[in-house]
A and B are shown apart, each in its own frame.
Chain A
Amino acid sequence: MEKRVFFRNWWLPYLLVAPQVVITLVFFIWPAYQALEMSFFIEDAFGFSRNFVGFENFTRLFSDPGYLRSFWTTLVFGLTVTFLSMSMALALAVAANRVVRSATTYRTFLIWPYAVAPALAGVLWFFMMNPSLGIVAYMLESIWGYDWNHYINGNQALMMVIIAAAWKQISYNFLFFLAGLQSIPKSMIEAAAIDGASPTRRFWTIVFPLLSPTTFFLLVVNLVYAFFDTFAIIHATTSGGPADATSILVYRVYSTGFVGQDYGSSAAQSVVLMALVIGLTFVQFRYIERRVQY
């Protein structure tokens, strides 16, 4: 889509795009290039010496079981967060779409967690699940005799950050599902009801397929969220532990670089992650392109 009518001026447009472009070049493109360059070197902590090592940082990375485990952790984390938050949000959106009275009240109570910072979501659940005094840990122990200790148990720690991450994302998914549901013509559903289809059947055969564009969009957005924006949740609570059970890739970039002072390896991880984001963005963009043509 392009405008047919436009202004003529040889310098004004450059001036107008300049701020955005300069910031992009200085704070995005240049650091990205630096990461690429740094990934071929190893450097000491204080930055006095720098040795070219070729692809060693990358080969070491992919032969490091810890890094490969991080890939797996990231995948489990991302998929579970996405599935949990999307399914809960869908159930809530379907329900909210049915109620007539008090619909706005429900909506108000369901959307506010969007505004809670991921770091805070993490801290809230960290408090609730603290093995010594968290209310959830207490209930698990006293009702089911289940021993909760995410300081020791890696799976429990992972579960904790998954719940915190999913909790925060429900509102977002809810709003999009609700918008999607509201755009489905009532007449289609009524027609199916007259044909005698049960509400469950109607949902799976008519509503859910019609929601698929929204679902697909949310799938990508949630994965990107789980892969990158959840850094704060991990950093503020588990710091990647215990036994790197919650070290997702984006956390490892940070911990290798800033905590471990292994700049070369951290840069190599940045490069791998950038490739991953570019892939995801590409998928998302193709999808958006297709939508624009509707």
Chain B
Amino acid sequence: MVENRPWLGVLTHATLILGVAFLCFPVWMALVASTHPGEALSRSPIPLWFGDQGWENYAQLLTEGSPAVGGVDLSTMLLNSFIMAIGITVGKIAISLISAFAIVYFRFPFRMLFFWLIFITLMLPVEVRILPTYDVVASLGMLNSYSGLIIPLIASATATFLFRQFFLTIPDELVEAARIDRAGPIRFFWDILLPLSKTNIAALFIILFIYGWNQYLWPFLITTDQDLYTIVMGIQRMVNVGEGLPIWHLTMGTAILAMVPPVLVVLAMQRLFVKGLVESEK
């Protein structure tokens, strides 16, 4: 930096360490709680260091689940979350790529109408139109199905805009060259546009995977069949046990398992993640 002031250096590191501590502490507590037997967590103060029940707790969660909430095993829930997240991600990217391609590379009647129609989705988050959307999905017979979990969520204005912005930066000469080669639009899309978009797709993939994985209200509403529960919504069942008490060691174990996949994705692909985040929002 510009000049050297020791106290500023100390302050800087202190701020960062405090920040890291604030962000990590809840997860630390959850991780610790998930390694204790249930009785250790029935009264205050609760332990701050690991117990010896970790394997048992996680093994129980993954194979038989928590009996208090109908005993759905978390392996099933994790699998469902994974299918939903991948379905949403691939779906969003696929339909956004082709619609952005159409809007940028073609001139056709109602082009702007379509553009605005897609734009409107930004203004209608699922939370504000829950009931009628539920009714539509119900009348299409899509309750309790993967298609019901995935398809209503794959429209994406953000992804469409991102690809549109990106396509606009691709030099027109490439299209001209393609035309000279007598390559049709599909060939152009497949051989030129798609390879050029690789990084963008990868970056977006991370953001959308997290988005899909973390869905809560939608799976909560449309799944009444335990075999289709996803893990993020499944935790609500564990917290609200009605008359009983939450079984904290298993609940926290579930929380940890539910956050591991998306957090790993972020950490493993940090650079792409940052790019995806900053570009998809700007």
Q: Do chains A and B touch in the complex (CB under 8 A)?
A: yes
Contacts A118-B214, A123-B255 hold; do A35 and B131 have CB atoms under 8 A apart? Answer: yes
Contact between chains at A123 and B239 (CB < 8 Å): yes
Q: Complex formed: what's the CA distance from A71 to B11 in Å?
A: 39
What class of interface size applies to chain A in its complex with B? 35 or more
Q: Complex formed: what's the CA distance from A171 to B262 in Å?
A: 14
Which residue in B44, B155, B176, B281 is a CB contact (below 8 Å) of A132? B44
Contact between chains at A16 and B130 (CB < 8 Å): no
Q: Complex formed: what's the CA distance from A172 to B266 in Å?
A: 12
Interface of chain A: mostly helix, strand, loop or mixed: helix
Contact between chains at B168 and A1 (CB < 8 Å): yes
Contact between chains at A32 and B132 (CB < 8 Å): yes
Contact between chains at B185 and A9 (CB < 8 Å): yes
Task: Write out, one digit per residue, whether chain B residues 100-132 have a CB within 8 A of any chain A CB (1) or not (0).
Answer: 011111111001001001101111110111111
Q: Complex formed: what's the CA distance from A34 to B135 in Å?
A: 10
Is A293's beta carbon under 8 Å from chain B?
no
Number of interface residues of B (CB under 8 A): 109
In this complex, what residue of A is CB-closest to B42? Answer: A133
Is A92's beta carbon under 8 Å from chain B?
yes
Instruction: With both chains docked as a complex, state the minimum distance between the C-beta of A14 and any C-beta of chain B, in angstroms.
Output: 7
Selected interface stretch from A52-60, A73-81, A150-158, A272-280: A272-280
Contacts A108-B270, A110-B23 hold; do A7 and B217 have CB atoms under 8 A apart? Answer: no
Contacts A13-B106, A133-B41, A277-B123 hold; do A6 and B175 have CB atoms under 8 A apart? Answer: yes
Is B229's beta carbon under 8 Å from chain A?
no
A8: chain B residues at CB < 8 Å are: 106-107
Q: Which residues of A from 215 to 239 have beta carbons under 8 Å from B?
A: 217, 221, 228-229, 231-232, 235-237, 239
Contact between chains at B15 and A95 (CB < 8 Å): yes
Contact between chains at A133 and B235 (CB < 8 Å): no
Q: Which residues of A from 221 to 273 have beta carbons under 8 Å from B?
A: 221, 228-229, 231-232, 235-237, 239, 250, 253-254, 257-258, 263, 266-267, 270, 273
Q: Complex formed: what's the CA distance from A235 to B232 in Å?
A: 12
Contact between chains at A6 and B251 (CB < 8 Å): no
Which residue in A10, A108, A115, A236 is a CB contact (below 8 Å) of B265? A115
Contacts A138-B44, A138-B45 hold; do A3 and B216 have CB atoms under 8 A apart? Answer: no
Contact between chains at B106 and A12 (CB < 8 Å): yes
Contact between chains at A126 and B120 (CB < 8 Å): no
Contact between chains at A27 and B168 (CB < 8 Å): no
Contact between chains at B259 and A34 (CB < 8 Å): no
A109: chain B residues at CB < 8 Å are: 20, 23-24
Contacts A32-B124, A88-B19, A95-B16 hold; do A23 and B235 have CB atoms under 8 A apart? Answer: no
B232: chain A residues at CB < 8 Å are: 117, 119-120, 232
Contact between chains at B259 and A120 (CB < 8 Å): yes
Selected interface stretch from B2-10, B50-58, B70-78, B196-204: B2-10
Contact between chains at B114 and A117 (CB < 8 Å): no
Contact between chains at A21 and B118 (CB < 8 Å): yes
Contact between chains at A91 and B15 (CB < 8 Å): yes
Q: Complex formed: what's the CA distance from A138 to B43 in Å?
A: 10
Which residue in B128, B175, B176 is a CB contact (below 8 Å) of A273? B128
Is B172's beta carbon under 8 Å from chain A?
yes
Contact between chains at A5 and B44 (CB < 8 Å): no
Which residue in B45, B105, B114, B252 is a CB contact (below 8 Å) of A6? B105
* Interchain residue pairs A-B with the least CB separation, the first 5: A34-B132, A117-B214, A31-B132, A16-B102, A115-B262
Q: Interface residues, chain B, CB within 8 Å of chain A?
A: 1-3, 5, 8-9, 11-13, 15-16, 19-20, 22-27, 29-30, 33, 41-46, 48, 94-96, 98-99, 101-108, 111, 114, 117-118, 120-125, 127-133, 135-137, 140, 151-152, 154-156, 160, 168, 172, 175-176, 179, 184-186, 188, 210, 213-214, 216-217, 220-221, 232-233, 235-236, 239-240, 248, 251-252, 255, 258-259, 262-263, 265-267, 270, 273-274, 277-278, 281-282
Given contacts A19-B94, A239-B240, 18 further A-B contacts (CB under 8 A): A7-B175, A12-B186, A13-B106, A14-B102, A20-B155, A24-B117, A27-B136, A28-B155, A34-B136, A35-B132, A116-B259, A117-B216, A124-B255, A128-B26, A170-B19, A175-B277, A175-B278, A267-B132
Jot down 30 A-B pairs with beta carbons below 8 A, ordered by A: A1-B168, A4-B172, A13-B103, A17-B102, A19-B98, A20-B95, A21-B99, A23-B95, A23-B154, A88-B22, A91-B19, A92-B15, A95-B13, A98-B12, A111-B270, A114-B210, A120-B255, A127-B26, A128-B25, A133-B248, A138-B44, A217-B282, A229-B125, A235-B220, A235-B236, A237-B239, A253-B130, A258-B130, A277-B124, A291-B282
